[in-house]
Amino acid sequence: MSAEQGLAVVIGGAAGIGATTAQLMTERGWRVVVADRDEAAGERLAGELDAGFRRIDIAREDDIREAAAAIEERHGRVSGLVVAAAVYQAVVPPRELTLTAWNAVLQVNLTGTFLANREFGSRMAASGGGAIVNIASIAAIGSMPVHAYGTSKAGVVHLTSTLAGAWGRSGVRVNVVTPGSTLVPRVEERIRSGRYAADPAEFTALGRMVRPREVAEVIEFLASSRASAITGQNIVVDAGWQVASTWAQFGGVPGPEGAVDPSAGGD
């Protein structure tokens, strides 16, 4: 049985990486509050984990403020915050990306992350410290045709570093995890339906995609006391996407050393 780690709020915890993180943190001894706009999915997961649930619309300032106060009143001091809530965008040329779509993505992914960090982080700073883990994306560090989404996630990376500086002396650590293509249900469906022009695994050094549990492991570590000297960092969990991308002009990363070329003749 894991020792108690404290109370963690996982925003965007009803599905995807957020849900996997809530599950793992529960296993590791955290008390968890699943926070999400999707009440049905959030309450279902919270029931399975014997966790709390709070409906949160991360894009609404009043909602975040009220939720932080209510969670603290009901469950006690929050020592860990994970911000995994995000919205995506259609892949379109810049001229077809409307201002409405642009604003909608940045409002949730960047402004919403700021609001959640500001509200919960300020409370942590005033009450003895804590740890915040934000979630970005490889779209933040590589050129991709998701202009609003990539920009919003790049903003999250920078925001993380500024908040780490602001709250460090108050005992609050702030880090960001940047996942590569991860096998969450949304991505699995895109692969099955052929919506990707190529297999994302082809563009990683490890020759495979990232598993949600692998991202959750890093998130839980950064939230825990095991990462007590780590703050302001962007931890990339991408199965070597950054490494492999620069090998493309040389024909891609090589296969396993010692592998036998099946086309070669033999005795």
30, 149, 203, 241: the catalytic one is 149
Instruction: List the structure tokens of 99.
Output: 């201002």
Q: State how far the Cα of 75 lies from the Cα of 8, in Å rounded to an integer.
A: 10
Assign 11 to helix, strand or coil.
Answer: strand
Instruction: List the structure tokens of 91.
Output: 């892949």
Got the DSSP string for 33-95?
Answer: EEEES-HHHHHHHHHHHT-EEEE--TT-HHHHHHHHHHHHHHH--EEEEEE----------GG
Q: State how far the Cα of 104 lies from the Cα of 64, in Å rounded to an integer.
A: 17
Task: Say which DSSP state 112 is in.
Answer: I
* Short-list 115, 9, 106, CA closest to 62: 115
Helix runs in the chain, H state only: 16-27, 39-49, 61-75, 99-106, 113-126, 147-167, 185-193, 212-223, 241-245
* Short-list 173, 170, 182, 194, CA closest to 117: 173
H or E stretch including 237?
Answer: strand 234-237
Establish whether 88 is a catalytic residue.
Answer: no
Residue 220 falls in which region: left (phi positive, over 0), alpha (psi -120 to 50) or beta: alpha
Would you please indicate which residues are annotated as catalytic (active-site) residues? Answer: 149
